[in-house]
């Protein structure tokens, strides 16, 4: 399970087969995997978890940046406004981190059996093993 999360979640690969990228473009996820036909669509609101994780990355970055700024003042020393610099940088981190958040989230959905194979069986690796 941890191996699945690391291999597919961090690399953005399909959690079902790990053979191809889960993404079409930078953020978009297709309805099914073209290789193993795992169905990525798990119902309305499933993307909310990914958004939450993405904002989490932004928030963690903002906190770390604030601590670094309060300790060493690198932003103020560079002649920039610390508050605005951290705010803008956090948005960038959130936007870039959203892709990672999305692949991590969909790997979790897969691991907990919330995705479906084309025959309707749940996506959990353990269940898959018993049906094959």
For residues 99 and 119, give the distance between their C-alpha atoms in angstroms, rounded to a whole number: 28
Options 16, 54, 58, 97; binder of Zn ion; rule CB under 5 A:
16
DSSP state of 49: H
Nearer of residues 32 and 94 to Zn ion, judged by Cβ: 32
CB of 98 to Zn ion, least distance (A): 21
For residues 76 and 69, give the distance between their C-alpha atoms in angstroms, rounded to a whole number: 8
Calculate helix-pair angle for 82-111, 47-72, nearest 10 degrees: 140
3-state DSSP assignment of residue 75: helix
For residues 44 and 90, give the distance between their C-alpha atoms in angstroms, rounded to a whole number: 27
Sign of CA dihedral 113, 115, 119, 125: negative
Under the binding rule (CB under 5 A), the answer on residue 9 touching Zn ion is no
Nearer of residues 34 and 73 to Zn ion, judged by Cβ: 34
Which residues from 31-60 bind Zn ion, rule CB under 5 A? 33, 35-36, 38
CB of 15 to Zn ion, least distance (A): 8
For residues 25 and 5, give the distance between their C-alpha atoms in angstroms, rounded to a whole number: 21
Under the binding rule (CB under 5 A), the answer on residue 14 touching Zn ion is yes
Nearer of residues 8 and 90 to Zn ion, judged by Cβ: 8
CB of 31 to Zn ion, least distance (A): 12
Options 1, 17, 80, 91; binder of Zn ion; rule CB under 5 A:
17
User: Where on the chain is the footprint of Zn ion (CB under 5 A)?
Assistant: 14, 16-17, 33, 35-36, 38
């Amino acid at each position: 399970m941890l191996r699945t999360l690391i291999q597919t979640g961090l690399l953005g690969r399909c959690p079902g087969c790990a053979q191809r990228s889960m993404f079409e473009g930078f953020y978009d996820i297709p309805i099914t995997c073209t290789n193993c036909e795992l169905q990525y669509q798990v119902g309305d609101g499933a993307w909310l978890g990914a958004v939450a994780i993405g904002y989490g990355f932004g928030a963690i970055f903002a906190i770390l940046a604030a601590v670094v700024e309060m300790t060493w003042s690198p932003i103020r020393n560079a002649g920039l406004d610390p508050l605005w610099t951290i705010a803008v940088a956090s948005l960038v981190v959130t936007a870039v981190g959203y892709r990672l958040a999305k692949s991590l989230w969909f790997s979790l959905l897969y691991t907990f059996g919330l995705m479906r194979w084309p025959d309707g069986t749940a996506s959990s690796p353990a269940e898959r093993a018993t049906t094959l």
